[in-house]
Amino acid sequence: MPKQRQVINQIAQQTFGYDCLRPGQQEVIKAIIEGYDTLAVMPTGSGKSAIYQIAALLIPGITIVISPLLALQHDQVQAIKEQNIAKAAAINSTISNSQRQEIFTNLENQQLEFLFLSPEQFNNEEVLTHLVNVKPSLFVVDEAHCISEWGHDFRPDYLRLGAVIAALDHPPVLALTATASPVVRDEIVERLGMREPQIFVRGFDRPNIWLGVETFHEESEKLNAFLKHITAAKKPGIVYAATRKHTEKLSAILQERCIKAAHYHAGMKTAQREQVQAAFMADELEVIVATCAFGMGVDKSNVRFVFHYDISDSLDSYYQEIGRSGRDGEKAQAILFYCPNDLQIRRFFAGGGKIDVNEVLQVAEAVQQADEPLDLEDLQEVTDLSQSKITKAVSRLEEVEAVEILPTGEVTTSEVEVDQTTSVQAATLAQQRRQQFMRSRLEMMQNYAQLRDCRREYLLNYFGEPVDKKCKFCDNCQSGITVEEATFQPFPVNSYVIHTNYGTGQVMRYEADKMVVLFEKVGYKTLAVEIVQGLLKQVD
């Protein structure tokens, strides 16, 4: 084993110019080259890209990297080329057919080390055929939390990466992410079909980011406080808002106050978004006001603040977004401007995607009656349901083994014999549970906004990281608004319990006379400690 570590360090120094690897990198690389499926949850700036790049150079054969954004793919390919690490290419919608064929030729001739793809590229059977022929030696899913965050809604192709991996004869799988709560980690492992995975979780704490929340009951009051803070704040910074309209309104107000600001959202043309992002990266803008569409893959070290004008949909999203500040290790600010009324828009978004038994039955029957596999567009024509409802119905039907999703994204009947009535009811119930879980995540975000305790402790507990002491670097700690550790804790933090109605859950944290449990069926629940002994039993 010491020799293996020596080889890893030698590659890191000679090829990448590192003096030494960061904590956690070596252990993850070692697991990969030993052939283990591996999930690495490591904070931003901890060198996740170097992990798969070093591992790839130590394993003969092509490495497939699933990357969610075209801009991110481009940056990763350019970085590999500039460092002269190995041959790299990306197949996406921006390249010509001749370029595409040239990449396929290089693949067949084993002249590529890295191939970057988005999940949607597997809709093209030609891509899958070429990859089956070359037998990849490593399958990397970068930003793996997208499986859970995006796969159920607008990018369902993320949910069939497991079928793609199986079609490629299951090469070692590496999933990388900077933010994944325990339930998201479980879904990543399940969806990718990871076998006995090695799971590495390195500290979530970003101690240089000051955490604060300011609460308001009037929009005008909130706007005035926001403008006061942003005028005084050291720049550059990022402001997150819930809607496109809000980003445009806020950036216009900032411009009127002679702050160099611009908005960014998915409704803008690609060229416009790229121009705004480039200006922000070059420090030509002081503030970028954006929806959640901005930030993934953006590595700007000197961001001094991340302000949330509207509350996030979950602590998962919130923590990832505030993590884009202070990457240089210097002090940064994360402030949430909280108005209880803002929860309405988040509840509206979380309440979308309802499907009833009849709608699920329509999809199940359409698949059953078809002579050949159907894609989502075919199902939309046959059922006259929205794409969103079809996506959710198919996903839930696959979970109960009523249908099978092929690597190309088409849907066909399952090889498993199932009772259609039972499976449709089970799929509908699964979707209801999914919605309940999404609502429970919003409740945890609301609890953070209203918390009267150490905010950092609350965040880290949410991600399954026990904390021994208060941080002294959040608004509550500095104001003395904290709660002493509960004297009575009937079940240890991170232990598993079973509830008579909610099923199995994991104890996440205690708050004075309350405890938070993450249940598999219904998501997060806050329970009164004094009554749980009759409701909960510890699972050995």
β partners of residue 332: 209
What letters, b where the CB count within 10 A reaches 16 and e where it falls short, cover 165-189? bebbeebbbbbbbbbbbbbbbbbbb
Q: 58 and 172 in contact (C-beta within 8 Å)? A: no
Closest Cα partner for 443 from 524, 345, 342? 524
Q: What are the E-state strand segments in 22-83?
A: 38-41, 63-66
Q: How far is CA 302 from CA 12, 293, 309, 326, 533, in A?
A: 26, 20, 21, 6, 49
The superfamily in CATH containing domain 209-347 is P-loop containing nucleotide triphosphate hydrolases (3.40.50.300)
Type of residue found at 516:
V
CB 434 within 8 A of CB 189: no
Q: How far apart are CA 147 and CA 187, in angstroms?
A: 8
Q: What is the pLDDT of residue 43?
A: 76
Q: Do 80 and 50 contact (CB within 8 A), yes or no?
A: no
Q: Are 237 and 307 in contact (CB under 8 A)?
A: yes
Q: What amino acid is encoded at 413 in this protein?
A: T
CA distance 408 to 167: 10
pLDDT score recorded for residue 351: 64
Do the domains spanning 2-201 and 357-433 agree at the CATH topology level? no
The CATH architecture of the domain made up of 357-433 is Orthogonal Bundle (1.10)
Identify the CA nearest to 257 among candidates 238, 288, 281, 230: 230
The span from the CA of 449 to the CA of 262, in Å, is: 27
For domain 484-540, which CATH number applies: 2.30.30, 1.10.357, 3.30.70, 1.10.3470? 2.30.30
pLDDT at 48: 83
pLDDT at residue number 179: 81
- Quote the CA–CA distance of 133 and 131 in Å, as a whole number: 5
497-500, long-range: CB within 8 Å, 24+ apart, which pairs? Answer: 497/536, 497/537, 497/538, 497/539, 498/536, 498/537, 498/539, 499/535, 499/536, 500/535
Confidence (pLDDT) at 350: 67
What pLDDT does 17 receive? 73
Do residues 238 and 306 make contact, with C-beta atoms less than 8 angstroms apart? yes
The token duo for 299 is 């590595």
For residues 40 and 174, is the Cβ–Cβ distance under 8 A? yes
How does strand 173-177 pair with strand 38-41?
parallel
- pLDDT score recorded for residue 409: 84
Task: Report residue 85 as tokens.
Answer: 């690490």
Q: How far is CA 91 from CA 6, 120, 175, in A?
A: 34, 11, 20
Strand partners, 537: 498
Domain boundaries, the chain: 2-201, 209-347, 357-433, 484-540
Per-residue pLDDT of the chain (540 residues), as tens digits, is 566 777 787 777 777 777 777 768 889 999 999 999 999 998 776 678 889 999 999 999 999 999 988 888 888 899 888 888 889 999 988 889 999 999 999 999 989 999 999 999 988 889 999 999 999 999 999 999 988 887 676 688 888 899 999 999 999 999 999 888 888 899 999 999 999 999 998 878 899 999 999 999 999 999 999 999 999 999 999 999 999 999 999 999 999 999 999 999 989 998 899 899 999 999 999 999 999 889 887 889 999 999 999 999 999 999 989 999 999 999 999 999 999 988 888 877 766 667 889 999 999 999 989 989 998 888 988 898 888 888 888 888 988 888 888 888 889 988 777 788 888 898 888 888 888 888 888 999 999 999 989 999 999 988 888 787 899 999 999 999 887 766 678 898 888 999 988 889 999 888 778 889 988 888 889 898 888 877 899 987
Q: What is the pTM of this model?
A: 0.83
Picking from 406, 419, 415, the residue whose alpha carbon sits closest to that of residue 374 is 406
Res 255: pLDDT = 98
Q: Which residues of 282-317 are buried (b: 16+ CB within 10 A; e: fewer)?
A: eeebbbbbbbbebbbebebeebbbbbbbbbbbbbbb
- pLDDT score of 414: 85
199: nearest Cα among 38, 336, 375, 417: 38
252: enclosing H helix or E strand: helix 244-256
pLDDT at 275: 95
How many Å separate Cα 513 from the centre of its chain?
32
Q: For residue 87, how many C-alpha atoms fall within 13 Å in the half-sphere facing its CB?
A: 10
Token representation of residue 141? 């899913």
pLDDT at 1: 52
Q: Are 121 and 95 in contact (CB under 8 A)?
A: no
Side-chain half-sphere exposure of 1, counting CA atoms within 13 A: 6
Q: How far is CA 186 from the centre of its chain?
A: 13
Instruction: Give the CATH fold of the 2-201 domain.
Output: Rossmann fold (3.40.50)
Query: Which DSSP state fits 340?
Result: G
pLDDT at 386: 86
Amino acid at 317: S
**206: which 2 tokens?**
């970003």
DSSP-assigned letters across all residues of 276-296: HHHHHHTTS-SEEEE-TTS-T
- Exposed, middle or buried: residue 452 (CB in 10 Å: 0-12, 13-18, 19+)? exposed
* Beta bridge partners of residue 308, listed in sequence order: 240, 336
